[in-house]
Structure 1
Amino acid sequence: MDEQELRKEAHDLDVTVWVGKSGLSAVTDELKNQLRNEKLVKVKFLRAARGGTSTDELAEELADEASAELVETRGNTAVYH
């Protein structure tokens, strides 16, 4: 499945993982678990998690930690495959 098809499919997904003040380490395992059962997972980065960091930087870091593929970021939300 190419990236454009994944983006179309992700459009109607609900957010199932929220990154808050506890940071990325608090949700890494949850993202891994959800990706075992789902093709795509949508993650929301709350203001408390972002601090002075951009959503894109956090999304890339979470992808590395969870060994996931970052499909896209839009606003404060990222989609993983």
Structure 2
Amino acid sequence: MDEQELRSRAHDLDITVWVGKGGLDPVVEEASDQLADRDLIKVKFLRAARGGTTVEELAAELADRTGAAVVETRGNTGVLHR
């Protein structure tokens, strides 16, 4: 599946993972489980989670920790694909 098709599929997805002030640690397992069930998830990075980092950096780290790839980031939202 090419990147354009993944972005198109991601457009209609609901956000199913929220990263808050606890950072990535509390959501890594949940994100990994969701990626196992479906190959595409949308993640919202709340302002409290960023703490001096960017959404792109957080999405890349979450993707690395879950064995996924970042499809895109837009605003405070990232899309991951396994």
- TM-score between the two structures when normalised by the length of structure 1: 0.97
Runs of at least 5 residues in structure 2 that lack an aligned partner in the other structure: none
Instruction: Give matches, 1:37-52, under 5 Å.
Output: 37-52=37-52
Provide the C-alpha distance between the structure 2 equivalents of 1:31 and 1:69, rounded to a whole number of angstroms.
Answer: 12
One-letter amino acid matched to 2:73 = T
Are 2:31 and 1:31 equivalent residues in the alignment?
Answer: yes
TM superposition shift of 1:39: 1.9
Alignment correspondent of 1:58: 58
Provide the C-alpha distance between the structure 2 equivalents of 1:21 and 1:71, rounded to a whole number of angstroms.
Answer: 24
> Cα RMSD (Å) of the superposition?
0.6
SS of 1:52's equivalent?
Answer: coil
Provide the C-alpha distance between the structure 1 equivalents of 2:2 and 2:14, rounded to a whole number of angstroms.
Answer: 21
Runs of at least 5 residues in structure 1 that lack an aligned partner in the other structure: none
- TM-score between the two structures when normalised by the length of structure 2: 0.96
Provide the C-alpha distance between the structure 2 equivalents of 1:49 and 1:41, rounded to a whole number of angstroms.
Answer: 18
Per-residue CA deviation, residues 4-49 of structure 1 (Å, 9 max, x unaligned), is 0000000010000000011101100001000111121000000010
Provide the C-alpha distance between the structure 2 equivalents of 1:28 and 1:67, rounded to a whole number of angstroms.
Answer: 10
Provide the C-alpha distance between the structure 2 equivalents of 1:71 and 1:7, rounded to a whole number of angstroms.
Answer: 7
Task: State, as a whole percentage, how many aligned pairs show the same letter.
Answer: 67
Provide the C-alpha distance between the structure 1 equivalents of 2:36 and 2:58, rounded to a whole number of angstroms.
Answer: 21
| Matched positions, count | 81
